[in-house]
Chains A and B, each alone.
Chain A
Amino acid sequence: MSDIKMAEAPPGIQGSGFFATSLDKAIGLARANSLWPLPFATSCCGIEFMATMAATYDAGRFGMERNSFSPRQADMLMVMGTIAKKMAPVLRQVYSQMAEPRWVIAVGACASSGGIFDTYSVLQGIDEIIPVDVYVPGCPPRPEAILDGVMRLQEIVKNEPLNRRQTPEYKALLEKYGFHTNG
């Protein structure tokens, strides 16, 4: 007997030899279960991410087996650790290099809000420069918390309409952060 757990099929109409569901749901299912993370690990949370990827917590169970260090081939930007003002342009560049659809998780207090470092040199939360989908609290968050953040993002991804990235609202969001979309 195999213990492999299959992803549940989305609601649809089943008959002999066919299964009909909406394209949104089918693609959402595929995307959610193969999120390729781009670990943007700068400090302490990066070490907890290392623990998350290692044997005990095994993040590969959630379809994020492959760490993508190239922004072009990544879906999920995981920002882990303090982002100093010196680092901010680099983070922006990495985000802008990612292809749509792209999601962002801010892991830990520093990435979410600056954390305990309310100083002249630290960016007070990455949402000042890039849009964020999920915030994971903790300093650093436990691996379970990081995994929980990923699972929440999976829920978001599953339920995202296919045309979201073409809507004026989304474009306005990116414009707000200074990312210009063509068309």
Chain B
Amino acid sequence: MAKLSNDSIIGRLNTRFEGRFDQIEASYGLLTIETGKEDILDVLEFLKTDGELQFGYLTDITAVHYPDLAKEFAVVYHLHSLVNNVRIRIKVFLDGAYPAIPTATVLWNGANWMERETYDFFGIQFIGHPDLRRILNVDDMEAFPMRKEYPLEDPNRMDKKDYFFGR
């Protein structure tokens, strides 16, 4: 089967979402589109169910923190069309004060833990998620450790204090 080109994917998306997604780039051949949190579920559902595109496989959901941007968080979806053997990346930028986005668990069961992990690390609320709680870190943790301001090392450690080293 001929490989689906990035242009034809965009053309197909334009038939329904003209003007509702933007910032298209394709570094290393992987098409990246950006959309808003109002449209993300529609876009994902369209990509999944469209007879031509068939992006039926959710590879991954994660997030990135950009403290310097106006919209601090980017939620990143990687989809894969096993039939056409082509991938696509979808980004949604979210507001830093209350980052929230609709859940993708309605489309894929596998999104459950991926979203829980993203919540655990970044504190992004997935609205409608059946069971949104911490997954990897301890329950009583208050911070979201993958945010850039959170230190890597344990802030409570005693043996690294400066006065031990004469500083």
| A45 smallest CB distance to B (angstroms) | 21
B154 within 8 A of A: yes
8 Å CB contact of A118 from B138, B153, B155: B153
Contact B138 A124 (CB under 8 A): no
Cross-chain contact A119 with B153 (CB below 8 angstroms)? yes
Contacts of A86 in B (CB 8 A): 137-138
Helix, strand, loop or mixed for chain B's interface? loop
Query: 17 more A-B contacts (CB under 8 A) besides A121-B136, A124-B154?
Result: A85-B138, A86-B137, A86-B138, A118-B152, A118-B153, A118-B154, A119-B152, A119-B153, A120-B150, A120-B151, A120-B152, A120-B153, A120-B155, A121-B138, A121-B145, A124-B157, A124-B159
| B95 CB to nearest A CB, Å | 26
- Inter-chain CA distance A85–B154, complex, in Å, is 11
Complexed CA–CA distance, A85 and B153 (Å): 13
Residue of chain A at shortest CB distance from B145: A120
Task: Pull 21 A–B residue pairs with CB atoms less than 8 Å apart, ordered by A.
Answer: A85-B138, A86-B137, A86-B138, A118-B153, A118-B154, A119-B152, A119-B153, A119-B154, A120-B150, A120-B151, A120-B152, A120-B153, A120-B154, A120-B155, A121-B136, A121-B137, A121-B138, A121-B145, A124-B154, A124-B157, A124-B159
CA distance in complex: A120, B157 (Å): 9
CA distance A119 to B121 in the complex (A): 14
Number of interface residues of A (CB under 8 A): 7
Tell me, in angstroms, the Cα distance from A119 to B146 when the chains sit together: 12
Interface, chain A (partner B; CB < 8 A): 85-86, 118-121, 124
CB contacts between A and B, total, < 8 Å: 23
Taken together as a complex, chains A and B put the C-alpha atoms of A119 and B136 apart, in Å, by 14
For B151, the chain A residues whose CB sits under 8 A away are 120
With both chains docked as a complex, state the minimum distance between the C-beta of A93 and any C-beta of chain B, in angstroms.
16
CA distance A61 to B151 in the complex (A): 47
Residues of the B chain whose Cβ atoms lie less than 8 Å from the Cβ of A119: 152-154
How many Å from the CB of A117 to the closest CB on chain B?
10
Query: What residue in chain A is nearest B151 (Cβ atoms)?
Result: A120
Among B136, B138, B145, B155, residue most surrounded by chain A Cβ atoms (within 10 Å): B138
- Complex formed: what's the CA distance from A85 to B159 in Å? 17
Q: Which residues of B contact A120 (CB under 8 A)?
A: 145, 150-155
**B132-167 near A? 1/0 per residue, CB < 8 Å:** 000011100000010000111111010100000000
Q: A120 CA to B154 CA in the complex, in Å? A: 4
Task: Tell me which residues across on chain B come within 8 A of A121, comparing CB atoms.
Answer: 136-138, 145
